[in-house]
Chains A and B, each alone.
Chain A
Amino acid sequence: GQQVMQIPQYQHVQEGEDFTTYCNSSTTLSNIQWYKQRPGGHPVFLIQLVKSGEVKKQKRLTFQFGEAKKNSSLHITATQTTDVGTYFCAGNDRGSTLGRLYFGRGTQLTVWP
């Protein structure tokens, strides 16, 4: 069945360092979404990528979707303490019913001041 793997599970960085989380799917995805969950909070939608090789930027965040639409990455440049939280990727299998979105296990980011 559909599987979305995400690494690393944890990342600790010093403020100002860069951070990257990677997402890999066992099947080709029709699109991929990224969410951020602050400690004690709920997931909040960040962005959706649809096209093969797509790259989108939100300020210090850069999102990429692989050419084969099986992998994606989120890169944060010069992390800040406000970036603390867990980042999830979520993919929609090209062949699946529209109601099902498969989440990775998330990468928990800690930023030391």
Chain B
Amino acid sequence: NAGVTQTPKFQVLKTGQSMTLQCAQDMNHEYMSWYRQDPGMGLRLIHYSVGAGITDQGEVPNGYNVSRSTTEDFPLRLLSAAPSQTSVYFCASRRPGQGLWETQYFGPGTRLLVL
């Protein structure tokens, strides 16, 4: 199993450009999430999905869109990039638990710089 994969690894954008961060997992996990990590801020949840066709907002959803058409893929779209979106983005996935959280697996991350 490849686990959780993310592309690209690095990206530089200009303010106002749009782009999609790709995330895929081959573990048949129903739950997938997107986090951003900024220095000293920990990991903040952007959007998450509990299954194909179901998504919901996290703590910091503004400026980002997601969709979940398949179990495997959970892309994150930046509609109009802003310098405040410069960050490291992590995708994560897990199996649904029996009222508890199962182990969450993180992808390697995408480092995004918005000029």
Bitwise interface map of B from 85 to 102 toward A, beta carbon under 8 Å scored 1, else 0: 000001000001101110
A-B contact count (CB 8 A): 59
Would A88 and B42 count as touching, CB distance under 8 A?
yes
Residues of the A chain whose Cβ atoms lie less than 8 Å from the Cβ of B42:
6, 88, 103-106
Residues of the B chain whose Cβ atoms lie less than 8 Å from the Cβ of A88:
42-43
Residue A43 CB within 8 A of the other chain: yes
In angstroms, how far is the closest chain A Cβ from the Cβ of B108?
A: 5
Would B43 and A98 count as touching, CB distance under 8 A?
no
Residue B49 CB within 8 A of the other chain: yes
Residues of B within 8 A of A (CB): 31, 33, 35, 40-45, 48-50, 56, 58, 90, 96-97, 99-101, 103-109
Would B49 and A101 count as touching, CB distance under 8 A?
no
- Of the stretches A44-52, A65-73, A76-84, the one at the interface is A44-52
Would A103 and B101 count as touching, CB distance under 8 A?
no
Would A97 and B56 count as touching, CB distance under 8 A?
yes
- CB-CB nearest 5 A-B residue pairs: A105-B42, A99-B48, A103-B43, A42-B106, A103-B42
Please give me the residue from chain A that is nearest to B101 by CB atom: A92
In angstroms, how far is the closest chain B Cβ from the Cβ of A26?
A: 14
For chain A, the bracket of interface size reads 20 to 34
Please give me the residue from chain A that is nearest to B88 by CB atom: A42
Residues of the A chain whose Cβ atoms lie less than 8 Å from the Cβ of B97:
98
The CA of A41 and the CA of B89, in the complex, are separated in Å by 12
Would A42 and B58 count as touching, CB distance under 8 A?
no
Residue A100 CB within 8 A of the other chain: yes
In angstroms, how far is the closest chain B Cβ from the Cβ of A68?
A: 18
Would B106 and A101 count as touching, CB distance under 8 A?
no
